[in-house]
Amino acid sequence: MTAPEGRGIGTVHPAGNSFRILHVSTGNVCRSPITERLTRHALSDRLGDPFTGGLIVESAGTWGHEGAPMEANAAAVLADFGADATGFTGRELLDEHVITADLVLTATRDHRAQVISMGHSAGLRTFTLKEFTRLVRAIDPATLPDPLQEGMVERARALVRAAAALRGWLLAPSAEADEVNDPYGAPITFFRSIGDEINQALDPVVTALTGVPTHH
């Protein structure tokens, strides 16, 4: 199954040679589009070429506004980061999205529960974004496969396994600590604070996935 136009960051890789990251929020018009496009932006920024490594980045919503554009404020936030907001259309989260995803990152614990309730052994590869960030920070990158030797896909898979293994041991400081609030209908200032929050949460994740730190 090839990704529809405007989706994904990689070219079509043979099965097993790609790693799909799925970002999930409610409407797929605010949080998950921001997260999808900031992830892609960070990957192309670190790797120099968006077609490197076999990482594919997508998003969908548990009550996805199928075919809707992202919110204007979400697009404005992406512009602040220099990320591409073009060609986006909202999607309703489907079983096939969960089945093909190697890592599902959700805005909230409710979204995580909804993804896991769809089955497909999603529990071990579904985290809230901030939960995954918290777990990734505790993983020694030296224990992960070298992206140059074994490839980014192998490294990404190992990272997800390590995070899943840590989850029961490394508890959140508070329930809200693992969540990104919904800016839908809020003013641009609130959208910007959510964009910053998402960007900060993504930074260590992209570093762990690629082995390439942010260059400031």
Active site residue 161: no
Residue in this structure with the two tokens 């693992």, named with its chain if needed? 178
Active-site residue, from 80, 95, 146, 196: 146
Name 52's Cβ contacts closer than 8 Å, sequence gap at least 6: 43, 152
Tell me the C-alpha distance between 35 and 201, whole Å.
Answer: 10
Active-site residue, from 31, 40, 91, 157: 31
Name 84's Cβ contacts closer than 8 Å, sequence gap at least 6: 37, 40, 41, 78
Active site residue 146: yes
CB 41 within 8 A of CB 4: no
Residue in this structure with the two tokens 């930074």, named with its chain if needed? 203
Active site residues: 31, 146
